[in-house]
């Protein structure tokens, strides 16, 4: 085998080495991403499996009254037996 043939083979190996390390980096990044996804899934499962801390459905709501859109006071006792939905929001201005 001539000198040029040997140089050609070595050059090919040198060019191939960075490609292998790039592939290895991509492979490690995929493993890290998969580990992160699994850790997040485990954390979400643990969070969702904890007790909700809700009030029993038989518990009475505390008495309160709020103004309606026309300024009249509406008490919770006046709405007994009807579904009540409270929406709380805040505007930042």
Report the C-alpha gap between 43 and 47 in whole angstroms. 6
Helix, strand, coil shares of the chain, percent, nearest 5, are 55, 5, 40
Q: What is the pLDDT of residues 19-62, one digit of tens each?
A: 566 666 667 778 888 888 999 998 888 877 777 666 666 677 78
Q: What is the pLDDT of residues 62-93, one digit of tens each?
A: 888 888 889 999 998 898 888 888 777 878 86
Report the C-alpha gap between 32 and 26 in whole angstroms. 10
Q: For the CA atoms of 63, 68, 71, 75, what is the dihedral angle to 10 degrees?
A: -20
Q: What is the pTM of this model?
A: 0.33
> What are the extents of the domains in the chain?
3-79
Q: Are 89 and 79 in contact (CB under 8 A)?
A: no
Q: Which residues pair with 65 in a beta bridge?
A: 75
What is the model's pLDDT at position 56? 64
């Amino acid at each position: 085998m001539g000198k040029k043939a040997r140089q050609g083979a070595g050059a090919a190996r040198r060019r191939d080495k960075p490609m292998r390390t790039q592939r290895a980096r991509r492979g490690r990044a995929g493993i890290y991403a998969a580990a992160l996804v699994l850790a997040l899934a485990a954390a979400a499962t643990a969070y969702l499996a904890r007790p909700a801390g809700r009030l029993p459905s038989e518990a009475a709501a505390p008495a309160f009254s709020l103004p309606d859109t026309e300024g009249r006071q509406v008490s919770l006792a006046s709405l007994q037996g009807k579904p009540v939905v409270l929406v709380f929001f805040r505007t930042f201005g």
